[in-house]
């Protein structure tokens, strides 16, 4: 499935994460325009966190193409001799199945988040919160093992779905812009919350569906790989290969710094683009702590479509259930006409995902 375009809503926060005292007057907007579009000025400014939430002056938004400015600034800085890295999230940033043409809700980020929450809610309803108020684990080892097994089933299903789902570029100009920046010597990579078990589907999504390849521009070079590494004894296995860092849902900032250090690569400046605010903040904080200048973008291009999935009265969760049922029975997704009158049933969804009507099975 492929994705269309949407207006961006930018605002900027320098040094601090708080937005409380931010005023987007004409002077601020002028500074923001100069800040992002002038490579030389960009290199000399303090590190900053840029957000695309719906806060800007609508009259200004229509003339503001944030992603193009990122490319222009990165290439300008490279032309000045700086070592520039642009790191991209994948889902809802580079590509998405949330397309009006296909209406495929299954396998999207909103669908995934819904299933993760439903699974934890089911276990919490039966066994209580996973952690006690003081933060200590409250589930027994048997319950935690059962939860982990179910979560593994969900991951396996998501991997199978993405092997069949085609992503569309979020913005159609991006694949060619990536290639142009790479040709100019800008280093690029992807940093995704997906885990190593989704490597094959991820490579298909990037190389075939979206049309980008980061192996030639990756920190450490195309032959540098880190398979199944852990950044500490408590971390889950991660993977870095072909310019794609698959973090298994862990802190993207910590993981990125770990990989850059292992690759012996220290950029002069990093651009990071992600649709999730937590990831953007984590990366910004990590790069600041490491003393690496950063331009971090919380990319809101697909916010509206993501919100539409969970909006009251939305048919998309029911469509996703019908799509999953067809996928389980027939191995393919139905056309729109086959799911317009779909009905939701939590027990049916659990059975389709986990093979039983109850995900919590520990006595």
Domain ranges of the chain: 11-96+167-305, 109-164+314-354
Range from 11-20, 205-214, 245-254, 293-302 carrying the lowest mean pLDDT: 11-20
H-helix or E-strand spanning residue 60:
helix 58-61
Confidence at residue 52, expressed as pLDDT on a 0 to 100 scale:
55
Confidence at residue 193, expressed as pLDDT on a 0 to 100 scale:
94
| CATH number for the domain whose boundaries are 11-96+167-305 | 3.40.50.1000
Burial class (CB in 10 A: 0-12, 13-18, 19+), 36: buried
| Residues 6 or more apart whose Cβ sits within 8 Å of residue 327 | 106, 161, 164, 333
Confidence at residue 12, expressed as pLDDT on a 0 to 100 scale:
30
What is the pLDDT confidence band of residue 347, given thresholds at 50, 70 and 90? confident
| Whole-angstrom distance, CA of residue 286 vs CA of residue 17 | 13
DSSP-derived secondary structure letter, 172: T
H-helix or E-strand spanning residue 31:
helix 26-37
Evaluate whether 226 touches 116 at the Cβ level (below 8 Å).
Answer: no
Confidence at residue 53, expressed as pLDDT on a 0 to 100 scale:
45
Residue with tokens 């690569």: 265
What percentage of residues in the chain have a pLDDT greater than 70? Answer: 76
Beta bridge partners of 168: 96
DSSP-derived secondary structure letter, 106: T
Q: Could you report the per-residue pLDDT of 219-257, keeping only the tens digit for each?
A: 998 889 999 999 999 899 999 999 999 999 999 999 999
Q: Is the pLDDT of residue 38 over 60?
A: no
């Amino acid at each position: 499935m492929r994705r269309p375009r949407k207006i961006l809503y930018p605002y900027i926060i320098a040094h601090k994460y708080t937005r409380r005292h931010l005023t987007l007057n004409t002077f601020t907007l002028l500074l923001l325009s100069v800040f992002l579009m002038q490579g030389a000025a960009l290199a000399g400014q303090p590190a900053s966190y840029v957000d695309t939430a719906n806060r800007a002056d609508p009259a200004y938004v229509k003339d503001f193409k944030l992603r193009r400015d990122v490319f222009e600034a990165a290439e300008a800085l490279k032309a000045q001799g700086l070592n520039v890295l642009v790191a991209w999230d994948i889902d809802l940033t580079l590509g998405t199945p949330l397309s009006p043409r296909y209406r495929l809700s299954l396998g999207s980020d909103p669908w995934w988040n819904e299933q993760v929450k439903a699974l934890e809610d089911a276990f919490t309803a039966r066994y209580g919160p996973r952690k006690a108020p003081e933060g200590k684990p409250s589930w027994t080892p048997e319950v935690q093992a059962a939860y982990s097994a179910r979560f593994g089933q969900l991951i396996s299903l998501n991997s199978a779905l993405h092997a069949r789902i085609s992503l569309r570029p979020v913005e159609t100009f991006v694949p060619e812009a990536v290639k142009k920046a790479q040709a100019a010597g800008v280093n690029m990579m992807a940093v995704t919350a997906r885990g190593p078990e989704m490597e094959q589907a991820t490579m298909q999504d990037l190389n075939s569906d979206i049309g980008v390849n980061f192996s030639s521009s990756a920190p450490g070079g195309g032959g540098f790989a880190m398979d199944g590494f852990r950044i500490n004894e408590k971390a889950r296995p991660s993977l870095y290969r072909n310019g794609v860092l698959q973090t298994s849902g862990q802190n993207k900032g910590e993981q990125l710094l770990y990989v850059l250090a292992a690759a012996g690569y220290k950029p002069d400046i990093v651009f990071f683009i992600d649709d999730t605010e937590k990831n953007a903040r984590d990366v910004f904080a990590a790069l600041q702590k490491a003393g690496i200048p950063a331009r971090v973008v919380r990319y809101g291009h697909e916010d509206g479509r993501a919100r539409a999935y969970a909006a009251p009265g939305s048919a998309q969760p029911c469509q996703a259930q019908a799509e999953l049922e067809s996928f389980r029975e027939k191995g393919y997704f139905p056309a729109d006409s086959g799911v317009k009158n779909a009905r939701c049933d939590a027990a049916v969804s659990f059975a389709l995902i986990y093979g039983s009507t109850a995900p919590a099975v520990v006595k």
